[in-house]
Amino acid sequence: MASRSQMDSLAPALAADKAAALRLTPVSRETEARLDAYVELLLQWQAKTNLVAPSTLPQLWTRHIADSLQLAALAPTARTWLDIGSGGGFPGVVLACVLAERGGTVLLVERIAKKAAFLREALRVSGGAGQVILADIGDCVDSLPQPLDCITARAVAPLHQLIGFAEPLLRPGAKALFLKGQDVDAELTEAARYWKLQPRLHASLTGGQGWIVEIDRIERLEQSASASVAPKSAATGSVGTGE
């Protein structure tokens, strides 16, 4: 975990990285101010709680903020979002900052109490439009407000498991946007064992080997009905923000 002096030493790198990130994913001044407040809080909490991998801090804006912001452009009319395993707030809090202007909201599902507390504080200080649900996604699917317009997740679980949670929530006209890494082809191959779908892949604007898997129709393969979703403990950890 980073100390205060280490955080101060990051300031020049963060300023340059912020400029690069906002060139990739421009936002309004109001949204930028919300994101600034969120980043400041995250850096304060990072000194005592591991919200993101320390090695990614110099690229916090491009690696995490812009990576999350790009989802908003893929669902510009979506108003009610669900973020599974929000962890340190990616993409949930970032999207909440955007949706505060759009008139939408994000439901952030997080099973770890400490991280849920951080998410609530992040929404408060940033003015983001969202609500934190402290629960395992497998325990709250049936009680989530309906309808949802967009479902997101970032490095929380294998794709076929995420699809299992999204399937009962994905009404006609809604979509899922899942942030994935270099193993996306293998995950799609595995998902095809359980689900019939026609995903669209978008290369991440932030470069590297990141991808966004867009899904708007899901059909369960009958022979996989009992094997499509892994045990909750394996499927809903908040590991995404630590990468």
Q: Which domains does the chain have, with CATH numbers?
A: 66-237 (3.40.50.150)
User: From CA 32, how far away is CA 138, in angstroms rounded?
Assistant: 34
Residue pLDDT tens, the chain, 243 long: 445 566 678 899 999 999 999 999 999 999 999 999 999 999 999 988 999 999 999 999 999 999 999 999 999 999 999 999 999 999 999 999 999 999 999 999 999 999 999 999 999 999 999 999 999 998 888 888 889 999 999 989 999 999 999 999 998 889 999 999 999 999 999 999 999 999 999 999 998 889 999 999 999 997 655 444 443 433 434 333 333
**How many CA atoms does the CB half-sphere of 213 hold within 13 Å?**
28
CB atoms within 10 A of CB 208: 12
Residues forming the annotated binding site? 85, 90, 154
Q: What is the pLDDT of residue 238?
A: 38
Q: What is the pLDDT of residue 227?
A: 46
User: From CA 61, how far away is CA 213, in angstroms rounded?
Assistant: 21
User: From CA 138, how far away is CA 189, in angstroms rounded?
Assistant: 23
CB atoms within 10 A of CB 94: 32
Q: What is the pLDDT of residue 142?
A: 84
Assign 3-class secondary structure to 8-64. HHCHHHHHHHHHHHHHHCCCCHHHHHHHHHHHHHHHHHHCCCCCCCHHHHHHHHHHH
CB atoms within 10 A of CB 60: 22
- SS3 for 122? helix
- Computed on alpha carbons and rounded to an integer, the radius of gyration of the chain in Å comes to 17
User: From CA 96, how far away is CA 92, in angstroms rounded?
Assistant: 6
Contacts of 142 (CB under 8 A, 6+ apart): 168
- Fill in the DSSP letter of residue 142: G
Q: What is the pLDDT of residue 4?
A: 57
Task: Tell me the H-state helices in the chain.
Answer: 4-9, 11-24, 29-46, 60, 67-74, 92-102, 113-126, 137-140, 159-166, 184-191, 232-235
Residues forming the annotated binding site for S-adenosyl-L-methionine? 85, 90, 154
- Global pTM value: 0.89
Q: Which two tokens stand for residue 18?
A: 């912020």
Q: Integer distance in angstroms from the first to the last C-alpha of the chain?
A: 14
